Amino acid sequence: MSERVIPLVDQRLQALVATVPAQTIATHGLLSDSLGRPLHDLRISVTDRCNFRCNYCMPKAVFDKDYAYLPHSDLLNFEEITRLAKVFVAHGVRKIRLTGGEPLLRKNLEVLVAQLANIQTPDGTPLDLTLTTNGSLLARKAKALKDAGLNRVTVSLDGLDDAIFRAMNDVDFPVTDVLDGIAAAKDAGLGLDANGHLTGLKVNMVVKRRTNVDQILPMARHFRGSGITLRFIEYMDVGATNGWCMDDVLPSNEVIQRLQQEFPLVALEASARGETAQRWGYANAAGKFDPDLGEIGVISSVTQAFCRDCNRARLSTEGKLYLCLFATQGYDLRSLLRKSNSSGNPTTDTDLASAIGHIWHQRDDRYSELRASLPVDAASAVRRVEMSYIGG
């Protein structure tokens, strides 16, 4: 079956100017956007390259040998990333997720992790530092990342059947190597909380109809009772190249129905406001949540919008600030970092904080809430940035 592939319009070349407002915006950690949403979560993309070609993210037909990745000089260096991260933390960010592309392809990533892990929050609460990876290099890197100060990790894995997995990553990568990466992360202590409980090691599975729906139960059987939280993600209409259509989306409530045929589940409270996943716990014979069996999550980005609590900002590999996963343009923070301000002086951290505060104040993005009301053609005609560029 051939997939519909829409040619890529390069949104990376467009940018909104980030300006320093005349009035300083203080970093009191209480920033809120035009819909009253705080800034809590920062996702930093450290590379736009990947060694996989998941068909829902970087289809081979577009991301081929001629695809122009960002030149290295365009990328923020580790000092620039850390400087911006400090400003975001001063504004209220308490969770930083490194992503990509495949973040473990960025050379010496553990050096960046160590710099970020050193950032002090104003109120002394620890920063939650995590990373999303396809797991292919995790067996080699887990210990160095943990030693550098990474708290936890989320590994993407779309099935246990080797043939299905190899077809989905489209580079013939074997499932056993990703499972080895997950085991190495567990051995290294990634995901252990302050009490020594494994609460932060997660596996994300994108569910796509006609592709890996049959993997839902085998994945649940495999991870149930392992301490690792499996989360099912609805296939999303991010980017403009994957030929997304609603027929390929399996709604999360159907995932839950399938799981409940074999495992009784009970709904759990959200762990924090703005969390993307709805939590379900495996129940014991008495029908009560059994922590030893663990929990699963469903991320219903398509069928149940969660924009109302969306507190996430995204920093692209070359320093553009995106206010929504479905944005078409980002604000160019790198220019501010690398150039002087309007008076010809080097941009100060106060300038950066004011610029970021000003941008966040104006934020009104809520694409998923609006998606249903958009005519199908209008929704698919929007030239959104790619997930591999902006990070998940």
Which residues make up the interface to ligand SF4 (CB under 6 A)?
Answer: 50, 52-54, 57-58, 100-102, 134, 156, 306-307, 310, 312, 324-326, 365-368, 388
Both tokens assigned to 48: 């736009």
Three-state SS sequence of 330-368: CEEHHHHHHCECCCCCECCHHHHHHHHHHHHHHCCCCHH
User: CB nearest ligand SAM: which residue?
Assistant: 392
- For residue 326, the partner it binds in ligand SF4, ligand SAM, none, with Cβ less than 5 to 8 A by kind, is ligand SF4
322 vs 361: CA distance, rounded Å = 13
Q: At what angle do helices 175-188 and 162-169 cross, to 10 degrees?
A: 90
Is residue 177 a contact partner of residue 155, using CB atoms and an 8 Å limit?
no
- For residue 190, the partner it binds in ligand SF4, ligand SAM, none, with Cβ less than 5 to 8 A by kind, is none
Does 50 help bind ligand SAM (rule: CB under 6 A)? yes
User: Residue count at the site for ligand SAM (CB under 6 A)?
Assistant: 21
- For residue 238, the partner it binds in ligand SF4, ligand SAM, none, with Cβ less than 5 to 8 A by kind, is ligand SAM
Among 15, 57, 109, 127, binds ligand SAM (CB under 6 A): 57
Tell the residue number behind the tokens 């790198």, with chain if given.
Answer: 334
372 vs 383: CA distance, rounded Å = 18
Residue 369 CB neighbour total at 10 angstroms: 13
For ligand SAM, what does the binding mask look like between residues 200 and 229, x meaning CB under 6 A?
Answer: ----x-x-----------------------
Q: How far is the CB of 366 from ligand SF4 (least distance, A)?
A: 5
Is residue 322 a contact partner of residue 54, using CB atoms and an 8 Å limit?
no
Is residue 388 a contact partner of residue 100, using CB atoms and an 8 Å limit?
yes
Residues 6+ apart with CB under 8 A from 287: 264, 266
- For residue 33, the partner it binds in ligand SAM, ligand SF4, none, with Cβ less than 5 to 8 A by kind, is none
Does 387 help bind ligand SAM (rule: CB under 6 A)? yes
Does 169 help bind ligand SAM (rule: CB under 6 A)? no
User: Cβ closer to ligand SF4: 53 or 141?
Assistant: 53
Q: How far is the CB of 225 from ligand SF4 (least distance, A)?
A: 27
Closest by CA to 53, choosing from 140, 166, 159, 163, is 166
Among 56, 165, 173, 306, binds ligand SAM (CB under 6 A): 56
Q: How far is the CB of 119 from ligand SAM (least distance, A)?
A: 22
CA contacts within 13 A on the Cβ side of 383: 10
Residue 351 CB neighbour total at 10 angstroms: 23
Binding site for ligand SAM (CB under 6 A): 50, 56-57, 99-100, 102, 132-134, 156, 204, 206, 233, 235-236, 238, 242, 387-388, 391-392
